[in-house]
Amino acid sequence: MQKITLGLGCFWGPEENFKSKPGIIATEVGYAGGFSPNVTYEEVCTGRTGHAEVVRVILDKKSFSWNELFQIFWESHDPTQLNRQGFDIGNQYRSIIFYYSENQKLLAEESKKQKQESLLQLIVTDISPAKEFYSAEEYHQLYIYKKK
């Protein structure tokens, strides 16, 4: 099993996309990449904590490949939009990949390079080492699944 943390706009839809795939063991939404400790949703929404809304994905790399994971990542948002996704605007909605190993970094960079070849606009997705992850409040976890 391996984990990776991904920011691609509001975390509800991406979590639903990832959790439904065979080979994804678990997902958890939260906040990462900022400088304030123990943040809340309300604090992150101010844009002053530096955090992104993210989905931490735990995958079984024997039954789910990094290529599949990154394909879902690129197709689930517009990586050419800086600090926004659709009507959601702010640095908390930025496109970012937080990696946990040098191998993940290389795979993410290669995936970004390949995706860039198919786009006319520049990809603004950041690729950074994983930082402290703060779990989002319980009502955000599996939000779309619970609303069905």
Catalytic residue among 4, 6, 8, 10: 10
- For this structure, is 10 an active site residue? yes
Question: What sign for the dihedral angle of Cα 118, 124, 125, 129?
Answer: positive
Determine the Cα angle at 106 with ends 102 and 111, to 5°: 145
Strand partners, 96: 7, 126
3-state secondary structure 52-98: EEEEEEEECCCCCCHHHHHHHHHHCCCCCCCCEECCEECHHHCEEEE
DSSP class of residue 140 equals G
Catalytic residues, by residue number, are: 10
